[in-house]
Chains A and B, each alone.
Chain A
Amino acid sequence: MNVENALKTARNGVNTEALMGARAALAETPAAGQFTWRAECDWVHGTHSRSTVQGFFGLGAEQSHTRAFTVEADHPPQFAAADNAATPVEIVLSALASCLTAGVAAVAQHRGIQLRSVKASVEGDMDIAGILGVDAGVRNGFSAIRVSFDVDADATRDEIAALVAQSQKRSAVFDIVTNPSNVKVTVA
């Protein structure tokens, strides 16, 4: 398998050598793998808010993005809101698609598969009787999420299916949405 990969070099723009190096380094110093991700969210007006991300902790020290990024959220007119940005639930779907797509690219690079195009379409079903408090038997969140990948690559259909499967196995956001997490919210 190694020999095969060395002979097949794909150009997907993912530095898998660096990622594999990080994986080897973590086996030696597992504490460096402890990361804390952060976001700060400011209320703007109505249901409009603006989150900012820049600093995070990892590799044993405080780290920073090259600059601050903002993610805005709001709700559409159908919710009597000003529609300044995507809804938080659409941001979750986008995050899931982004995470899986990054995974497809990384796994393809590692397996020497050249990608030409990758498009993920995500749908999440929700009964808003939950968030509106109409029916206590209905959950707030998605009752089902569907992701459909359309991948054009130098690979067989099964190889593409295996890329998408492996991407799910290694995806942080896929894990976050498919498994429970303890969430603690406090007031400063």
Chain B
Amino acid sequence: MPRLSTVIIGAGHSGLAMSRALAGRGIDHLVLERGQVGNSWRTERWDSLRLLTPNWMNGLPGLPYAGADPDGFPPAATLVREFESCAAVNGAPLRTETRVLSLTWDAGYQVRTDQGTLSSASIVGATGACALPNIPAFAGDLPAGIARISPITYRRPDDLPLGGVLVAGASASGLQIARELALAGRRTILAVGSHLRLPRRYRGADILTWMHRAGVFDTPYDQVDDIERVRRTPSLPLMGSDTHETLDLNALQDLGVEIVGRLAAIAEGKAQFSGSLANFCASADLKMNRLLDAVDRRIEADGLQVPDAERSAPTRVPDAPRLTLDLARSGIGTLVWATGYRPDHHWLHLPVFDRKGRIRHDGGMIGDGLYVMGLPYLRSRHSTHIAGATADAEALAGHLAERLPRRHAA
């Protein structure tokens, strides 16, 4: 059986970044991909999706953005083409259409795939943080006859059965899908739990430009107060559009979306919503203003000549948000579970998980030549961004190279 130094599982931005970092160190490896390069961006995204990070934040390893619109937001299809160019430019040793079935240890890592088994001294898991929807246990209580989908299976409004839509979850995916459904004329109800709020533009620049400048993405994972908490933080509540519009609960209510509390339970055909909506909205407003205060301080410290601060109005919370919704009687045809994502590591047959089924790792290092990439706040908040994979890959490849068993003397 051929023995490789490293097998990388997944050819997304993380896997391609690691491939380039290993190639630069002369480490032989293969990149296994269940489909084609950038598979989840090809097959698990809705039609209209554009990245919420501007082009300058989406540079791929060896292929930094060189176009004319660094502040634009690319559609998913553009990103897929970039992935293909990146793999070609770097000559990544790819094995596409090769699905990993299991990873075990037997005098080396044994990677069993639907195309045969490989043996390797080290492994980099790069199968993505958003492989599966995180759906609450009570989802089974949803009455028959109501379609249930997630942002991974949602494609376009017309695909949904006739009728209204209940969207559970107000992070980026839930907000964007609720907006698209409302614009398509659907009655849309958005269930809102703990969430964040950001303006798209602030004081003449994109909010992400300011967040970079204020250093909020830079704290290394081993210097964070409560890493578990920050790793649970959802993606930033933004959307990418030509008009750089802000996506928040006020904007959605202007489009006719009804906001209600967190979806807490489904009983006897009725959705039950938490009475905590006002507090979650107040918390989101407070956090937003704290961040903007930090941006203002940075602008002042740097002596920048930029437009004056304009703060968003507080989130409008209905006086008495709905607490229950009879799904069938209200004509709800679909429930969208936009309640977060989790990785799919079912192929990893090794004792590396904590009691909640999450991989235990130290900045991506699991131990014994096993690595994971692409998880939220893997090494810093940059780890969540596409361009952040390059630095993570360099750090982990350096660690991997040092510990690689010496090859037989040539």
Contacts and interface: CB of A to CB of B under 8 A. Distances in A.
Contacts, number: 42
Nearest to A168: B279
Contact of B274 (A145, A161, A165, A179): A179
Contacts of A168: 276, 279
Interface stretch (B119-127, B283-291, B395-403): B283-291
B336 to A, nearest CB: 21
B272 A180 contact: yes
A178 B265 CA distance: 12
B261 interface: yes
Given A30-B355, A158-B290, A169-B279, A178 B194 contact: no
Contacts of B282: 161, 165
Interface in B338-357: 355
Nearest to B281: A165
Contact of A144 (B267, B274, B320): B320
A1 B225 contact: yes
Interface in A127-151: 143-145
Nearest to A139: B323
A123 to B, nearest CB: 14
A179 B283 CA distance: 18
A165 B283 contact: yes
A180 B323 CA distance: 10
B325 interface: no
A180 B283 contact: no
Given A144-B320, A169-B194, A178 B286 contact: no
Given A144-B320, A168-B279, A169-B279, A178 B274 contact: yes
Given A1-B225, A30-B355, A169-B194, A158 B279 contact: no
Interface in B36-83: none
Interface of A: 1-2, 30, 143-145, 158, 161-162, 165-166, 168-169, 174-175, 177-180
23 contacts: A1-B225, A2-B225, A30-B355, A143-B320, A145-B275, A158-B286, A158-B289, A158-B290, A161-B282, A161-B286, A162-B283, A162-B286, A165-B282, A165-B286, A169-B283, A175-B276, A178-B276, A179-B264, A179-B265, A179-B272, A179-B274, A179-B276, A180-B265
